[in-house]
Structure formats: structure tokens, C-alpha cells
Amino acid sequence: MARTPWRGHAKALLAGALVAGALALAGCSGTALLPAPDLPTTPVILDEAAAAAAISRYRASHGLGPVAIDSSLIRAASYQAEANARAGLLSHEVGGTFDARLKRAGFGGRYAAENLSAGSSTFDEVLKRWQVSPEHNRNMLMPQVKRVGIARVDAPGSRFKRFWALILSDG
């Protein structure tokens, strides 16, 4: 059977699509291609009450109510800060989806948000970073927010050294 130019072109397109599809799927697996490092980490003891007071003052300056520390949100924030520190990168997905992590921590509210950061040495530094970032600032100024959990985990061998997580919620 003689090959027509169209048939050869169609086969080439199909082969190209199959290769592109395989590459796309490989890219979705992320950690399968490039395993995340398992860096040594150290949780940092924070003054969570002072952090909540600082966030409350900031919210009050925008006409919003205060926040209180919540132990389940501290656990969720600690888990995510640890996951980021171990991986040596900043990602909302490295420890699993936000919803799955909140569920594991026993969260039962309707509104929740997460702020992550890396590199800042102090809470005041990270708070300023979040205030100047439109998305992070919007999270801190959600009117429904009443509770927070904050954590910092250090990974001295990583590029960023310090990893922060703040989780805010209504319930």
C-alpha cells in the first residue's frame, strides 16, 4: 500500500501528541522525577499570643475584629512549615492540599486561608512581607477570620533557612 503524505503527517502528529502527553503526565508527577530533599529541620518555638496580638492590631487598624490562637490551626501550620522546610521550597501543595491538611487537623470552619513565607528571621519581618503582598494581606483582612495558627520551621541547609506558615479561619 502506498503512503499518502496526509497519512504520514497524521502518524507524525499522533506520535508527537503521544510524546507530548507522556511528558505532560510526567511533569504532573513532580516528585517522581525530582525527589524532594529531606532536609534536617528544627521547629522554632514562637510566641503565638504575641503573633495573634500583632495580627489583631493590624486588623483593628482596618476596622476588623481580633484573632485568637487555635491549637488545631497551629498543628496545621506546623505541618506545612515542616513540609516546606524538609523540601527546601515554598509550596502550598508540598504537604498535601490545603483542604486535606485542614481536615487532618480537625478544622471545621467555612472560611480559611494560608499564608506562607520563607527567609524572614522574625515574625515582624514576615508580617510586613504579608502586609505588602496583596493576596497575603487579603487573607489577613478577611472579615470572617477569628482564629489563627502560626509556625516557623528552620532548615539551615536550605536556600531560605526559615519557613513560615500562617493559617487563618472563622471557626
Is the domain defined by 42-169 classed in CATH 3.40.33.10? Answer: yes
pLDDT tens across 98-124, in order? 988 888 888 777 899 999 999 999 999
What predicted TM-score, i.e. pTM, was given to this entire model? Answer: 0.77
Print the SS3 string covering 53-111.
HHHHHHHHCCCCCCCEECHHHHHHHHHHHHHHHHHCCCCCCCCCCHHHHHHHCCCCCCC
- What distance in Å separates the CA atoms of residue 55 and residue 141, rounded to the nearest whole number? 9
State residue 36's pLDDT score: 53
Check: CB of residue 155 under 8 Å from CB of residue 86. Answer: yes
| Whether residue 34 has pLDDT greater than 80 | no
List the chain domain ranges: 42-169
Question: What is the Cβ-side half-sphere exposure of residue 128, based on CA atoms within 13 angstroms?
Answer: 6
Give the whole-angstrom CA distance, residue 104 versus residue 140: 22
Percentage of residues in the chain having pLDDT higher than 70: 78
